Amino acid sequence: MPGTPREPSTLARLLDAAACQLQQAAADASARRLAERLWCLASGVSREQLLLGTAPAPDSAQSARFRDLVERAARGEPIAYLEGSAGFFDLEFEVGPGALVPRDDSECLVELALERIPPDSAAELVDLGTGSGCLLLTLLHHRRLARGTGIDRSAAALEVARRNRDRLGLQGRCRLLRADWLGGVAARSADWIVANPPYVEPSEPTGFGVAEFEPGAALFTPPGDPLFAYREILARASGVLRNSGRLLFEVGAGRAAEVAQAASAAGFALDELRRDLGGVERALLLRPA
Ligand code: GLN
């Protein structure tokens, strides 16, 4: 129902409860799994070889590379940067320090958009702060007639997005633009605006290694102004959207109500609020009021 936050499903509750129960076992298992991934990276051995016990004994060059990778991972460098790629939704994305590592939390934005954009839609999508391109490129991959524009202020991020776009064969339907938010987008040209803007206040805690290794411009808001990016986008969004267009935001934990309020002041009504798999209200779908 429009405007009604979805309760976590029975399955989500079941998984959450199991996650609590399994925490220590999972920490041990995931540390071991991480060590295995780093060994594969250092040695060139495949995961299958490792699991089947057919991996050759380590040589000294591999061991040295492995120790270096273990040290870097232990200091918080994201495994995705070490490996150079990360899975998102059903695709694999190249990543590097110029762009935020795609987060599982963001997958609910794609899920929601794909429920609303019909398979044969030729929708025009704009993705602000596109980073690796994971949101936009996943949508374009699943909506073969849609077209998109990915916008970022960072040249390094756009380079990562370009490689992902080309690897997915989407260069014919996706342009990438260096600009500030909606600055370079023509009036009434978009059916969907999607954005995962920076929403972490500098004083807020972040995950291990996040602040040290991932691009601050993609994460942090000015001190005391967690809504700054949303306001910038909202100020131009209604001029850029076509009639019955949609605006889809990712929001930080506990921020959905404030962002919805800012959106309402800019002429948008809440269409749907969706939680991520961790139960956090994460995707905010807005329509012109
Ligand atoms: N969810 C990200 C984090 O874990 C923040 C992403 C953002 O600011 N848009 O830190």
C-alpha 231 to ligand 1 mean position (Å): 17
Each residue's pLDDT tens digit, 162-174? 999 999 999 999 9
For a ligand 1 pocket test, name from 152, 181, 213, 219 the mutation site with the most ligand atoms within 8 angstroms of its C-beta. Answer: 219
Each residue's pLDDT tens digit, 210-260? 999 999 999 999 999 999 999 999 999 999 999 889 999 999 999 999 999
Percent of the chain at pLDDT exceeding 90: 87
Each residue's pLDDT tens digit, 76-102? 999 999 999 999 999 999 999 999 999
Interacting residues of 142 by C-beta distance below 8 A, sequence separation 6+:
110, 114
As a whole number of angstroms, the distance between CA 39 and CA 70 comes to 9
Specify the pLDDT at position 5.
54
Q: Whose CA is nearest to atom 9 of ligand 1?
A: 198
Residue 239 parent element (H or E): helix 228-240
198 lines ligand 1 (CB under 6 A): yes
Indicate if the pLDDT at residue 1 is higher than 70.
Answer: no
C-alpha 219 to ligand 1 mean position (Å): 5
Nearest to residue 195, comparing CAs of 125, 138, 142?
125
* 248 burial via Cβ count (<10 Å: 0-12, 13-18, 19+): buried
Nearest to residue 98, comparing CAs of 136, 148, 152?
152
- Type of residue numbered 177: L
C-alpha 251 to ligand 1 mean position (Å): 9
C-alpha 153 to ligand 1 mean position (Å): 17
